[in-house]
Chains A and B, each alone.
Chain A
Amino acid sequence: MGSASRIAGKDLKLRMRDRSVFILGILAPLVLAYIFYLVFGPAATGQGLSLAYGAVDEDGSDISSAFLSVLENAESEGVLELQTFTGPTEAAAALDAGDIDAYFLLPAGLQQAVFTNQETTIDVVGDVDQPTSTQIAASFAEQFSSGVGASQAAVAATASIAGVPVTPQFISSLSADPAAAGMSFTLVDQTADTKQLDAPTYFAAGMAVFFLFFTVQFGVNGLLEEEREGTLARLMAAPITRSAVIAGKGILAFLLGVISMTVLIVATTLLMEANWGAPLGVALLVMAGVLSAVGIMGLVASVAKTPEGAGNLGSIIAVILGMLGGTFFPIASSGGILTSLTYLTPHAWFMRGLASLSSGAPWTAALPSVGAILIFALVTGTIAFISLRRRLTR
């Protein structure tokens, strides 16, 4: 182990003097995470839509004010913001100006139509670029319409069973209020925790683990550089075992990965207010993640012929795994075949592990993901070690 750590120490000094590791391992992920956060942050956080609606009440009746009070209730619960307008022209102007997402038009004669059982219409006019807000507005009107329909059906059904016509006298003879017919169900809120990263943490973690696979290459590919420059033959002539040489490069790669990840975690916490979660859980995830990167890049080095070849193949693998693993945009959440593919990457498990630590979960919440990442590390690392050893024998 002594010679392995001496080799790693010597290489670490070399790498630290070369600014390349600093650029790819720290500067690039930090700058990109910050830019991505600036650009995608507002969209990615999924902060609820701020629903701003307008209402035009041309009827001024009990029914129209019943509908308005439904909206006012929603407003007082903080679900939406409501403005009332005197006429459609004013509401349309506010819609054009972008002050509201949609407005309701309660036409004159709404109540009359309902009482005489004639068709009438509530118009919902929305901004074409706010389809979801418009649909939510429509759903308020639809729910109200269903409620009115239910109470009318209740009266009509009661009358038809009793075999009498629907008259004002009949309605006043009913023992209960037919409006209750609209309340045959209740939506009961069930609590759900948040196991998703907030925007700064998502981009910080995504970029950190994406560039991690490039960073460890500086360690692993050193073996191929020594091979090309002839220093490897000299190492082999010294009383150092082949395993120690490989281990030395592995330790170096591991150190580079851990150092860059640590710097990134501290920097993004301070600069971007990223919340990485329970330190012990994060540390385990980082160590497992770095090991899997070393294993995978070791495997790449073992099949490549030259350092450049390893660098190029490594970049391809790192980019594919990174994209698929959802480090640039979340793939896991969309469902379908891509979601299954994404878990074939250590990146996805890393992100998932961090997500399970979010909202203050204890460090043990990350253990399943740590385990999954370690499987990648173990399998690729073992194969890489064996084939690199065989290569050094030649």
Chain B
Amino acid sequence: MKAISIGLVNVKRMIRERSNIFFVFIFPIALVLLIGVQFGGGFAPVVGVHQSDDGQLSEAIVSSLQDDDSIDVRVFETRNELTTGVEEGSVQAGVLLPGGMDDTAAAGDSVEIGFMARTDGTGGQLQSIVGAALSEIMAPVGAAQFASQETGAPFSDALEAAAGMSRQTSPIQVEVSSTGEATFPDTLGQFDLGASSQLVLFVFLTAMAGSSALILTRQLGISKRMLSTPTPVRTIVAGESLGRFSTAIVQGIYIMVLTLVIFSVNWGDPLGAVLILVAFSAVGAGAGMLLGSTFSNDQQAGGVAVMIALGLAALGGAMFPLDLFSPTMQKVAHITPHAWAIDGYAELVRRGGTVIDILPELGVLVLYASVLLALATWRLRVAITRP
């Protein structure tokens, strides 16, 4: 019972601290929103377009590019803005439509369209996508130029004839299909990927940051005073562990419920989702306790906590999808508990798994938690009984 009250005091202390309200409750949700808005919509390359005038051809090209599903189009007002956009990387490539294209085409000349891409990006390869969109629009123009030269008929008449023809004569269709199992299926919601990785990141971060609370408890002599009461060391250690563990759980449940309500994030099988959270919170509690009993300066522990928590989160795939890691980095990632928790959520969310399917991940997390908690218990026992 005493262990539980020590744990509860810890949760209360966390919630009362005003800056924690930001880091524990506001910031994770803001980040899920930011990442969902930023990256949830997919990674279609962006092509910038600048029109020197609004002639017919120019307009037709822009709308044809906009209809292309494989690229996003941003229209720039000036040529300089387009150049800057390409140079700074806000668009991957730029298309510069010259003025007077209609007249150039009517005169039978080849229209020169500027294409801008940096040498180091994907931009150069977008040239073929742009080229395909252009060649569709320009096909009747080329046909009309040819007919007008052959027959001597005015370009406008030839264009009328050609426009009618090219609609009928499209002999080769291109059909695109995809095979294989999608890493990120279409059913995956805009916020789904971000939500589980932010959960893992923040639960661990909060548990690690809790190490400074543990150090303060020791610095202020609270541990010593508890020891002077008829409370065995193991109860104090259990209570402090419970404190770290419950703060992690409180935050985890909060993130789950709120993202479910606000962003309708799919967490998969609820029992499985909560079990991963419980196991992972235990890992975080163990790590936080170990840090809090190893350091005796709360500022140092705070810095190390941020470094370890963010570093492990990045390595473990909580900032960037594990699926996109290289094979070597995937192996490295699975040294962190984060990767196992994220794998577990992926199993539940993307493949509709149940508790049975995530048993391996849960097993690894429980193993992490036991080792860390055992080490932390031993270190804390030494730290609070030291004279």
The minimal Cβ–Cβ distance linking A293 to chain B, given in whole angstroms, is: 17
Is there contact, CB below 8 Å, between B34 and A323? yes
Chain B residues 106 to 120 lying within 8 A of chain A, measured CB to CB, are 110-120
Task: Assess whether B83 is interfacial by the CB under 8 Å rule.
Answer: yes
Task: Assess whether A62 is interfacial by the CB under 8 Å rule.
Answer: no
- With contacts A184-B110, A192-B94, A192-B118 taken as known, whether A153 is within 8 angstroms of B179 at the C-beta atoms is no
Smallest Cβ-Cβ distance to B169: which chain A residue: A152
Instruction: Report Cα–Cα, A332/B85, bound state, in Å.
Output: 11
Instruction: Report Cα–Cα, A27/B302, bound state, in Å.
Output: 13
Stretch at the interface among A110-118, A266-274, A282-290: A110-118
Interface string of A243-282 (1 = CB under 8 A from B): 0000000000000000000000000000000000000000
- With contacts A31-B307, A127-B179 taken as known, whether A157 is within 8 angstroms of B132 at the C-beta atoms is no
Interface string of A18-32 (1 = CB under 8 A from B): 111001100110011
Interface size on B, as a range, is: 35 or more
The minimal Cβ–Cβ distance linking B13 to chain A, given in whole angstroms, is: 13
Task: Assess whether A55 is interfacial by the CB under 8 Å rule.
Answer: no
Interface string of B117-140 (1 = CB under 8 A from A): 111111111111111111110111
Residue in A148, A157, A319, A332 with the greatest tally of chain B CB atoms within 10 Å: A157
Is there contact, CB below 8 Å, between B300 and A20? yes
Interface string of A147-180 (1 = CB under 8 A from B): 1111111101110111000000000001110101
Taking CB atoms, residues of chain A closer than 8 Å to B117 are: 189, 192
Task: Assess whether A139 is interfacial by the CB under 8 Å rule.
Answer: yes
Task: Assess whether B180 is interfacial by the CB under 8 Å rule.
Answer: yes
One of A31, A150, A151, A186 near B113 (C-beta < 8 A):
A186
Interface residues of A, count at CB 8 A: 112
Instruction: Report Cα–Cα, A151/B146, bound state, in Å.
Output: 9
Is there contact, CB below 8 Å, between B175 and A184? no
- With contacts A149-B139, A190-B116 taken as known, whether A335 is within 8 angstroms of B46 at the C-beta atoms is yes
Is there contact, CB below 8 Å, between A39 and B325? yes
Is there contact, CB below 8 Å, between A154 and B142? yes
One of B19, B132, B138, B147 near A316 (C-beta < 8 A):
B19
Taking CB atoms, residues of chain A closer than 8 Å to B151 are: 158, 161-162
Is there contact, CB below 8 Å, between B176 and A138? yes
Taking CB atoms, residues of chain A closer than 8 Å to B132 are: 138-140, 142-143, 146
Task: Assess whether B215 is interfacial by the CB under 8 Å rule.
Answer: no
Instruction: Report Cα–Cα, A281/B169, bound state, in Å.
Output: 60
- With contacts A49-B122, A114-B171, A146-B136 taken as known, whether A184 is within 8 angstroms of B111 at the C-beta atoms is yes
Residue in B70, B86, B128 with the greatest tally of chain A CB atoms within 10 Å: B128
- With contacts A23-B303, A126-B176 taken as known, whether A150 is within 8 angstroms of B135 at the C-beta atoms is yes
Is there contact, CB below 8 Å, between A42 and B128? no
Chain A residues 202 to 235 lying within 8 A of chain B, measured CB to CB, are 214
Is there contact, CB below 8 Å, between A148 and B177? no
Residue in B166, B174, B303 with the greatest tally of chain A CB atoms within 10 Å: B174
Q: Which A residues have a C-beta under 8 Å from some C-beta of B?
A: 18-20, 23-24, 27-28, 31-32, 35-36, 38-40, 42-43, 45-49, 51, 74, 79-80, 92, 95-96, 110, 113-114, 117-129, 131-132, 134-136, 138-154, 156-158, 160-162, 174-176, 178, 180-196, 214, 312-313, 315-316, 319, 323, 328-335, 338-339, 352, 355
11 contacts between A and B (CB under 8 A): A20-B297, A120-B173, A129-B183, A131-B70, A141-B172, A143-B128, A149-B170, A151-B146, A154-B162, A158-B147, A186-B111
Q: Which B residues have a C-beta under 8 Å from some C-beta of A?
A: 17-19, 22-23, 27, 31, 34, 37-38, 43-46, 69-71, 74, 83-84, 86-90, 92, 94, 96, 105, 110-136, 138-147, 149-151, 153, 157-158, 161-162, 165-166, 168-183, 297, 299-300, 302-304, 306-307, 310-311, 314-315, 319-320, 324-326, 329
